[in-house]
Structure 1
């Protein structure tokens, strides 16, 4: 090797090589999947069905309702026209294609892909 006579440079090169190799050996972080009819999850890289309850789902794909309020407009006989709305966010459904993040060995459904 060209750097054998330079111990510091050789050590740096070995360290960088190990770091780069370990990064390329790291497992996939993001994956695509599909919600099955029984709400099991099958991902592209792990084709064995993960039963509902054995994977995690981010809050915004659980069917929550988001609240919004404020603002005003004219046209009301009483008050200033301020108001609020509840915006339902659809939850997971069978057949949904989803984005999955792998956190160590646990699948986390991030969002529905459309």
Structure 2
């Protein structure tokens, strides 16, 4: 019987083989949000104007949950991630020709806002 982790490994290996055969690759890079909220990738051409790149839900200033959840000893309310702002360092994944900001990069010693 194949475990779930083995199935995942086989799936990932198959996907990597498919990507390698097609001569395409996923590009992951760092970038910065400019004062006009344009995306400035470190390696790829830019800047990319606000609205011309996608933003993952966790950095979109949207509420992740709208209900209170109580499970065992864990109690959670609405989770709101901070919105992108000028000067933010971000992680970018390229999906074909579309850049997607997937997360903020925290600097050493930075504290989270409450």
CA separation of 1:85/1:50 partners in 2, compared to 1, >3 Å: closer, same or farther? same
Partner of 1:54: 52
Give, in angstroms, the shift of residue 46 of structure 1. Answer: 1.5
Q: How does 1:33-52 map to 2 (within 5 A)?
A: 33-52=31-50
How many Å apart are 1:87 and its aligned residue? 2.8
Q: 2:68 aligns to what SS in structure 1?
A: strand
Give the match for residue 91 of structure 2.
Answer: 99
Once the two structures are TM-superposed, the CA of residue 59 in structure 1 deviates from its matched residue by 1.1
Classify the secondary structure of the residue corresponding to 1:23.
helix
Structure with more of its chain in strand, by fraction: 1
Gaps of 5+ in 1: 1-19, 73-82
Mapping for residues 1-114 of structure 1, pairs under 5 Å: 23=20, 26-27=24-25, 29-66=27-64, 67=66, 69-71=68-70, 85-114=77-106
Normalised to the residue count of structure 2, the TM-score between the two structures is: 0.61
Give the TM-score taking structure 1 as reference length: 0.61
CA contact (8 A) 2:68 2:76 kept: yes
Cα gap change, 1:106/1:71 in structure 2, threshold over 3 Å: closer, same or farther? closer
Instruction: Report which of the two structures shows the higher radius of gyration computed on alpha carbons.
Output: 1
Task: Compute the displacement of 1:50 (Å).
Answer: 0.2
Aligned-pair Cα RMSD in Å: 2.7
